[in-house]
Structure 1
Amino acid sequence: MNTLAASYLATWNEKDADARAKLLADHWADNASYSDPMAQASGHDAIGATIGAVQEQFPDFVFTLVGEVDSHHQQARFQWGLGPEGAEPVVIGFDVVVTDDDGRIETVLGFLDKVPA
């Protein structure tokens, strides 16, 4: 599931909309859904737009894995950080990712652990 987390974070870090759409097509189920305290999105287009909006809000930030991926069956949970590359994350979150039978991301349930004031 480390590969899953890497693909997931790569999607969130991809600035080019066409390249991001390819990552969504390759690693996310067609009916994928994403939910966190700030957004809900279903399908590649809506998830891609959500990612694009986050990148506009934090243009010089990158997502990184914080700690280890914990997984069983078709689900994984991991903590991530968002901040300037090579620096301490400004935002820290925790996501639970559920995959379909083909190992593609089907459901993401996100939580925010640390958010700046």
Structure 2
Amino acid sequence: MSDIADRYLAVWNETDPARRRALIADTFTEDASYTDPLGAVRGHDGIDTFIAGAQAQFPGLVFTLPAEPDAHHNLARFQWHLGAPDAPEPLVIGFDVVVVTDGRISAVGGFLDKVPA
């Protein structure tokens, strides 16, 4: 399941709209849902719009995995960091749980552990 987490973060890190959209199609089912404390969206259009908004809010920051995902059956959970590429500490820390269906993400439940004041 580390591959799915890597693909998921690649989507969040892709700033070119056309490439991001192609990654979304490869990574998420067409009716995938994404829910976190800041919003809830469904489908490729909703996910793309949500990610573009986050990128506009945090320009130049990148998502990284601080550890390997924990997974069983069709579920995976992993923590992620968002920060400047050269920063010693992440600006935001979150935790996501994903449901995988036929090799693509069909649902994401996101949690924010550390956010800027």
TM-score norm. by structure 2 comes to 0.97
The aligned counterpart of 2:43 is 43
Structure 2 counterpart SS, 1:67? coil
Which residue type is aligned with residue 84 of structure 1? A
**1:1-80 paired onto structure 2 within 5 Å:** 1-80=1-80
Q: Distance in 1 between matches of 2:15 and 2:8?
A: 14
Structure 1 counterpart SS, 2:69? strand
Structure 2 counterpart SS, 1:34? strand
Q: Distance in 2 between matches of 1:53 and 1:39?
A: 11
CA deviations on 1:45-84 (whole Å, 9 max, x unpaired) are 1100000000000001000002221000001000000010
Q: Distance in 2 between matches of 1:66 and 1:50?
A: 23
Please tell me whether residue 95 in structure 1 is matched to residue 85 in structure 2: no
- Identical positions, percent: 57
Structure 2 counterpart SS, 1:50? helix
Q: Which runs of 4+ in 1 moved over 4 A?
A: none
Structure 1 counterpart SS, 2:116? coil
5+ residue gaps, structure 1, are none
CA deviations on 1:7-31 (whole Å, 9 max, x unpaired) are 0000000001110110011111001
TM-score norm. by structure 1 comes to 0.97
Q: Which structure dedicates a bigger proportion of its chain to strand?
A: 1
CA apart distance, 1:86:
2.9
Aligned residues between the structures:
116
